[in-house]
Amino acid sequence: MTDDQAIGERTAEPVADRRRAAAKLAEFHERAARSRSPGTPQAIARQRSRGKKTARERVELLLDPGSFVEVDALARNHSAELESADRPYGDGVIIGHGTVDGRPLAVFAQDFTVFGGTLGKAHGEKICKILDLAAKVGCPVVGINDGAGGRIQEGVVAQALYGEIFFRNVRLSGVVPQISMIMGPCAGGAAYSPALTDFVVMVDKRSHMFVTGPDVLSVAMGERVGLEELGGARVHNTRSGNAHYLATDEQDAIDYVRQLLSYLPDNNHDAPPAYAAGSDPDGTVLDSLVPGSRSRPYDMYTVLNAIVDDGEFLEVQPLFAPNIICALGRIDGNSVGIVANQPMELAGCLDIDASEKAARFVRTCDAFNIPIVTLVDVPGFLPGSEQEWNGIIRRGAKLLYAYAEATVPKITTIIRKAYGGAYVVMGSKHLRADLCFAWPTAEIAVMGAEAAVNILHREQLGAAEDPAGIRAKLIDEYDKTHCTPYRAAERGYVDAVIAPSDTRKSIADALRIMNNKRETSLPKRHGNIPL
């Protein structure tokens, strides 16, 4: 070989390398482009015609602009039996991480434009990967569900991956906040993953969630029921209690989740994010809030507005069991969970739904280091055979268990009625409330004066010539002796009787002193909550 030939070959090598590199780069751009838009234009058009956004649009709206980092964009179905066109990149789900208000978040979003968002092996493995990432770094995870269930063509593999996802949901429970957004169908086994997460958000007339769909019900049971009636967003927000917020549209759902995240810590080892203290609401409105007649209701939302920063709070499950209010707010810039009886609904009684709603909320707050503020006006448990037959004893015990188990700061204020067992259950001193306050209007007793007098003095009233006059006198005596906060205060069951207008200040002072609360439990694997 001559010198000129050698020089020519050495010159050709860099040119060939550059061509190979350029070809690989072109292949990368082609695959990347195909991974970003795996759905056909027709499928995307159908998605938008239903008033639904694409999976990628949802992720970008949820996260801070430009913060999304995608993972496994090029993952695809592993089956050699399928043609390349039947193995789209991404396999129908987008996963990755980004930030919300500058804080880290893991996210997955099912893509209904690819195989109807159904779950196959690659699809399920991607969701498992992002859940594992959330566990490693200790950040919240949001799942955007829009899929028709398991991919039938992949058989038992799809069911196996559902099991892997469920296992991770349980493993992450109480470790990092998990939020599910139902943006379309969520059917069959797929429905159990949202059920295992902390919060479920659904969109009115767009979201549907059920284990057994209308068609199968019709064939198997002869029961005819519509999609909305069976598993629509409104049903799960008002009747089943499976959902925590009914969004008017997808943007409303995303806004709610972003706001929800602002109250929650990244994980169970962190404190919730703190903000500058908001302005003090006008507390003087509380001094004249409670009516003179104990049978007249008042709106508990007035109390909430007067104790949280700027009068702002985020309610959880507002349409389910409205006789109890569960909400997240801030006092002095710090997150608190608020549980309050609502006298405007069922007189504030505890029933099956209210007990389970509040118990779940208390346990969620306790898991994520959020102090619990309880506002009490409860005349008792709702009476009735239906309540008894459907397990009010067991279900009411869930709320009792949740309060007794909670180790975060617990501050209770008794506003008016606190009768019988319901008084004990609602975050009382006996369940280790750290500080318990009472308004002068508080009535802490076994039962109301009228009922107590009718039982205690039945014979005397039956023999009296003027039973109405005697009854009124006995009721007045019982009121002064028993239906008062001062007898409970004398025994240390109430730490202070406060003016209603001082409620915010009293709670804020209590939260400050309890900020470094430390409490240990007896050694055990776990308790056995009455499920």
Task: Using alpha carbons, select from 378, 309, 369 the residue that is nearest to residue 339.
Answer: 378
Question: First-to-last CA distance in the chain?
Answer: 86
170 Cβ neighbours under 8 A, 6+ residues apart: 196
Does residue 422 carry a catalytic annotation? yes
Which burial class, exposed, middle or buried, applies to 16 when counting CB atoms under 10 A from its CB (0-12, 13-18, 19+)?
exposed
Which one of the listed residues 135, 421, 451, 499 is annotated catalytic? 421
Which one of the listed residues 247, 422, 445, 488 is annotated catalytic? 422
The CA distance from 265 to 262, in Å, is 8
The 8-class DSSP code of residue 287 comes to G
Which one of the listed residues 189, 283, 311, 420 is annotated catalytic? 189
Strand bridging mode 178-187 / 141-147? parallel
DSSP H or E run through 490: helix 485-490
Does residue 333 carry a catalytic annotation? no
The CA distance from 100 to 433, in Å, is 34
437, 373 contact by CB (below 8 A): no
419, 376 contact by CB (below 8 A): no
Does residue 222 carry a catalytic annotation? no
Which one of the listed residues 147, 184, 188, 348 is annotated catalytic? 188
The CA distance from 50 to 343, in Å, is 40
The CA distance from 444 to 143, in Å, is 45
Count other Cβ atoms within 10 Å, centred on residue 136.
9
DSSP string, 145-167: EEE-SB-GGGTHHHHHHHHHHHH
Does residue 188 carry a catalytic annotation? yes
What positions carry a catalytic annotation? 188-189, 421-422
